[in-house]
Amino acid sequence: MSMKQLFFPIMALMLLAGACTQDQNRNASNKLQSSLTQGLRLDMAAASTQDNIRVIPIVSDAPAPSKPMNYVPLNEAMQRKGFRVLERQNFGRQEDNWFHAVTVMNKLQDTVYIMSGDVVTGGNQDRVFAHNEVVLPGSVRNLEVYCVEADRSYYYDPSASEAEKSLGMFKGYYNVASPTVRKAIEKDANQEAVWNAVAEVRKANKIEHRTQTYAALDNDDKNELTQKRDAYQQYFAAQLKNRADVVGMVVCSGDEVLGVEIFRTPTLFQSRCEPLLHGYIADAAVMEKTDKNLADAAIQARFERVARLTDADKIPGSETGKFSLHGQWLHVYSK
């Protein structure tokens, strides 16, 4: 067969391959967009604003999942007998860097959902969880954390029993850390960066405390900024509370989107709403005020970019995250 005779079959194969590639790209694009037809949308009409902070609810018109997802959030689990967070137990071997892990014991009948950014108080130092995790009933796990309380490495609770002291029990849940701290956890993933982020938030909010803990944002000596944050917290929580269709929120300050949070069900969002708001307000309340406001179209675009993650493992070029379990996404976010 001559070269001329070979030319046309080769060209046909190249055109066919190009068409297949275009179809694949189109299918991938359609897949990314499909999440936006699953009932997720911004409720711009219900947006609430206080000073330079704006919160827009994300609602879902999709039917509830056929299998209920009854995950107990960490803030609720720590109030129940049978669930404990302890300083890391070595289980027969000594390990270095004890402060980078805690032991979680779940004797409840429920699965406990821990979110990256959840802050617990007590132990030898207040800590923040580094990853999204679920802890099954009847299980014991060591989970990665970072310290959010410099200048303390001892158990300080004088009212604790000897057993509690020996185990280094964490008695309190605080809130979800601010986006500044959460970014340091995920982007830098080292203790020094987390301490620097905590120091930045404390300095901006004019917080003084005997130890440099993130949880001192709500210390007993309430200054003007603390009172302002409390007022913001009450206002925005009231706007979002008990809405059966809300699964998330977009939080803005002036002309900047601070973050997008989307949960699979309204129940999951309601359990995380107030702790998340606390962190966003810690950053937003001290941001410089501006007359510029972000256009609704820009907010919509940011929401859509994050919402696509419900169907994709990664959206190129976007600062997003996704937590899935058993093939179902539970939480997608951008901060």
In a domain, 295, yes or no: yes
Residue 211 is predicted with a pLDDT of 82
For residue 227, give its domain range.
Answer: 36-68+222-335
Total residues belonging to the chain = 335
Report the alpha-carbon distance of residue 115 to residue 101 in Å, rounded. Answer: 15
- Three-state SS string over the chain comes to CCHHHHHHHHHHHHHHHHHHHHHHHHHHHHHHHHHHHCCEEECHHHCEEECCEEEEEEEECCCCCCCCCCEEEHHHHCCCCCEEEEECCCCCCCCCCHHHEEEEEECCCCEEEECCCEEEEECCCCEEECCCEEECCCEEEEEEEEECEECCCCCCCCCCCHHHHHHCEEEEEEEECCHHHHHHHHHHCCHHHHHHHHHHHHHHCCCCCCCEEHHHHHCCCCCHHHHHHHHHHHHHHHHHCCCCCEEEEEEEECCEEEEEEEECCHHHHHHHHHHHHHHHHHHHCCCCCCCCCCCHHHHHHHHHHHHHHHCCCCCCCCCEEEEEECCEEEEEEEC
- What's residue 202's pLDDT? 93
Phi, psi of 207 (to 5 degrees): -100, 125
Do residues 103 and 141 make contact, with C-beta atoms less than 8 angstroms apart? yes
In whole angstroms, give the CA distance from residue 62 to residue 42: 14
Q: What is the largest CA-CA distance in the chain?
A: 93
- Cα–Cα distance between 8 and 19 in angstroms, integer? 16
Q: Do residues 135 and 153 lie in contact, with contact meaning Cβ atoms separated by under 8 Å? A: no
* 202, part of any domain: no
CA distance 174 to 98: 21
Q: What is residue 61's predicted lDDT score, i.e. its pLDDT?
A: 86
In a domain, 217, yes or no: no
> Considering the domain boundaries, does residue 53 fall inside one?
yes
Residue 122 and residue 143: Cα distance in Å, rounded?
16
Q: How many CA atoms lie within 13 A of 123 on its CB side?
A: 29
Beta-strand relationship, 139-147 and 101-106: antiparallel
Please give the structure tokens belonging to residue 67: 């299998």
Comparing CA positions, the residue from 301, 306, 304 lying closest to residue 319 is: 306
Reference 112, options 87, 132, 90; nearest CA is 132
pLDDT at 309: 85
| Rounded CA separation 114/112 (Å) | 6
Question: What pLDDT does residue 99 have?
Answer: 75
Beta-bridge partner residues of 41: 59
Q: Which residue has the tokens 């000596």?
A: 221
Does some domain include residue 186? no
Walking along the chain (335 residues) 10 residues at a time, the average pLDDT comes out as 50 50 47 56 94 94 69 94 90 65 95 96 94 94 94 81 81 95 88 94 87 86 83 95 91 93 93 96 86 87 90 66 86 88
Give the contacts of 283 (CB within 8 A, at least 6 positions apart): 178, 179, 180, 201, 204, 253, 258
Q: How many structural domains are present in the chain?
A: 1
pLDDT computed for residue 1 by the predictor? 53
Beta-strand relationship, 111-114 and 71-73: parallel
Model's pTM, two decimal places?
A: 0.84
Residue 335 belongs to a domain: yes
Is 334 inside a domain boundary?
Answer: yes
Domain assignment present for 49:
yes
Measured over the CA atoms of residue 197, residue 237, residue 306 and residue 128, the dihedral's sign is positive
